Structure 1
């Protein structure tokens, strides 16, 4: 056997390494895309914007975000409506969600996913009430993880806004009795006879189904469904699970006196109206292992024209003061982050839409925490450029920014914001040739 020479052995720096322990080969990018590169090698990173500083979330789970930019859940209305594939994610979802992970988002959250068939907003929404749906989630979570991003999912039930159509459908050409927004039983694959709510109050009598007031037995059934779906999400590989308590869906239906007029232990007082959401959070917290983080998305206000209280001091709608109380209770349960949004529970809402219009709610909730209660807060709502996002963090209004539509317009948002802020972040090795302008040292630009 002849002695091997150096020429016989390729240097380790020319070996195209793959991502370790991955289900398929993919070239390794170190550090992972979206991570700010070392200031020792890249002088422009010596004063790193907060937006590109890492953040660890959770006392137990210790979820590590490589930057402060996360992808909000976005309904795609792209699952099969009926049969064994109902609610099952498809290659569309893999490509849709995977592109954000490839391009540097710190966390990518799967769209609002229903724990029960009748909790879907539309018949084509995502579900997690069976194992087939969980099996379809696993390769998506695996792919997100391979890019160094955190795989996450939002679980919920749509309440009185379920059995509706995908938003782009033009119902003016459809024969009666199909109303605008309503997915009727039969051809539209709806379930208008099984829409649930805290009370029999429709979101809008003309365009939405009439819900049935949930029985106590159905509330227990719902909690069991959240437990089972949480277990499936964990087995599929989720590292963050978020409860959807926003936008006029079932949890926010129960929170608000506008939609909840029950007279039992789940209605009336603020304590009673918060009861279901806190019980569901407790169920989820007890179900997840310590390395999985529990988050909660909340509509901090429903923008009721008459305000949060009447002249007698009684709560008449859901707003920021009740939200502060709820968030403190959620912290006691073990929630690691509050994802602050607003609106969606009433067509009477009066929203003044402008850049960052929801940031003040995140700021108010964040500042309401004591040092012992303090957990990170995410903000959403018309955040459209890197400087604006950085200023929100610098002002202390939020710890994380969460985007949806801006990611749809610009999947490379993370890389583009890095360039906008004058710093260098890692990009996939496959894409580096397209980012030579960002990945050039100041001294090289002078030469």
Structure 2
């Protein structure tokens, strides 16, 4: 082959980027013949997509799109620089952050959206680059509900209450691009603000929502479908519905935040109605070959609180009941997270270092018993690894001195989650990692190196590959 043919560009792009000799994060065949490849680094096919490994970049809010003007809500070169780098360094799938299906569904004025065709080209540009590096591109479609129209967290972090406490959240008013009179939820009024604080309470960080009418709920469902159709036009590979962390879908699921008396409130069937209608509407407009994921908070951690005892809460049993419905609705993977719907949630992270992973494993096992086909994603892996480190070491200072010890714990935690051992099922099928990618975009490559696995690196980085262990 002539030298000029060796450095081929990725086809279908308007600019040149070299096609990798082997997709980064993929084990070389030679390593597979000498060392068993952990399940974590084996491909996984879901409908028409194939993950090159089981490590996914979870959606991470970046608050980095325009809040006004013709580019409102559109992704930018910032997103190529960040998300593209995770793809370049080997992640199997890179999720674009929570993206509003309606303008008032954004968490902040600077969050992305997909409520208009004008936002498609920028999304396609980001998706194309992610895919050019051998990764799959995903988008998390969302509506913030009563947690909408807030400022970026670093703005809140710079402000303090009159008592000197740092604010956790700051309301985005009209002058900040917010929409204080159009924040919505299942319920309406000052008593339904997320933090329960009145509008005249200077420590409050959220607007009072107004209750959605049934007509508006129907329009909302169609807007989810329209956003999904736009994602398909933009070349996205995977869509995830955001039903977790106290955002709108979760608000409807929970009896704590949903006390409606119509067909969208009260019973389990009524509280899940919005989500089911969204799933059905999306599946009608996306190809049968396209995977659909769902993220939920598997528990609100409110069972032992006064509000939980009074109204009930969304708990693990509720999640199990929902999970059993999902395969029949066309959902392929359940992304298991927790919390976020009420400030009084009670969980001691250090007493339950692998809490979300254990919940994910329980859901997976229950589905297997009933021969239901639903893949399970576990988040909180790095939390588990960090807590394991902190428990066996005196404090976390040692980690700053020994990076290899840190990545060793993370690598082992990652393998443990997805590996079947001694006849036992794995805890989950994929892992979703968030903040650790922000710290180390090359995390996939570092994990492989720690496991002694010879995986491909990007062509442009071959000269700085880690030495073989």
Q: Do the two structures share a fold, i.e. TM-score over 0.5?
A: yes
**What is the rounded CA distance, in whole Å, between the counterparts of 1:54 and 1:128 in structure 2?**
30
**What is the rounded CA distance, in whole Å, between the counterparts of 1:173 and 1:387 in structure 2?**
41
1:429 is aligned to 459
- Mapped pair 1:319 → 2:308: no
Tell me, which stretches of 5 or more residues in structure 2 are unaligned? 198-203, 386-409, 421-425
- Mapped pair 1:191 → 2:179: yes
Contact 1:307 1:316 (C-alpha < 8 Å) held by counterparts = no
Contact 2:10 2:132 (C-alpha < 8 Å) held by counterparts = yes
1:378 is aligned to 377
Q: C-alpha displacement at 1:185, in angstroms?
A: 2.9
**Which secondary structure does the structure 1 equivalent of 2:7 belong to?**
coil
Change (3 A) 1:274 1:306: same
- Mapped pair 1:54 → 2:43: yes
Change (3 A) 1:216 1:277: same
**Which secondary structure does the structure 1 equivalent of 2:50 belong to?**
strand
**What is the rounded CA distance, in whole Å, between the counterparts of 1:67 and 1:350 in structure 2?**
34
- Mapped pair 1:405 → 2:435: yes
1:276 is aligned to 274
- Mapped pair 1:353 → 2:336: no
**What is the rounded CA distance, in whole Å, between the counterparts of 2:168 and 2:51 in structure 1?**
41
Change (3 A) 1:310 1:290: closer
Change (3 A) 1:77 1:45: farther
- Mapped pair 1:37 → 2:28: yes
2:100 is aligned to 114
**What is the rounded CA distance, in whole Å, between the counterparts of 2:346 and 2:66 in structure 1?**
35
**What is the rounded CA distance, in whole Å, between the counterparts of 2:219 and 2:272 in structure 1?**
18
**What is the rounded CA distance, in whole Å, between the counterparts of 1:258 and 1:173 in structure 2?**
29
**What is the rounded CA distance, in whole Å, between the counterparts of 2:364 and 2:229 in structure 1?**
30
2:8 is aligned to 17
1:169 aligned to 146, 155, 170, which one?
155
- Mapped pair 1:132 → 2:162: no
2:291 is aligned to 293
2:402 is aligned to none
**Which secondary structure does the structure 2 equivalent of 1:112 belong to?**
strand
1:326-341 matches, within 5 Å, as 326-341=322-337
Contact 2:255 2:266 (C-alpha < 8 Å) held by counterparts = yes
**What is the rounded CA distance, in whole Å, between the counterparts of 1:256 and 1:195 in structure 2?**
18
Q: C-alpha displacement at 1:365, in angstroms?
A: 1.1
1:218 aligned to 212, 216, 219, which one?
216
2:397 is aligned to none
Farther-moved stretch of structure 1 (93-102 vs 203-212): 203-212
**What is the rounded CA distance, in whole Å, between the counterparts of 1:160 and 1:263 in structure 2?**
19
Q: C-alpha displacement at 1:372, in angstroms?
A: 3.5
Q: C-alpha displacement at 1:11, in angstroms?
A: 4.0
Contact 1:308 1:319 (C-alpha < 8 Å) held by counterparts = no
Contact 2:357 2:381 (C-alpha < 8 Å) held by counterparts = no
Q: C-alpha displacement at 1:305, in angstroms?
A: 4.4
| Aligned-residue CA RMSD (Å) | 2.2
Farther-moved stretch of structure 1 (112-121 vs 61-70): 61-70
Change (3 A) 1:361 1:436: closer
- Mapped pair 1:148 → 2:134: yes
Change (3 A) 1:180 1:372: closer
Contact 2:109 2:172 (C-alpha < 8 Å) held by counterparts = no
2:339 aligned to 343, 346, 355, which one?
343
Contact 1:415 1:427 (C-alpha < 8 Å) held by counterparts = yes
1:75 is aligned to 61
TM-score, scaled relative to structure 1: 0.89
Tell me, which stretches of 5 or more residues in structure 1 are unaligned? 1-9, 441-447
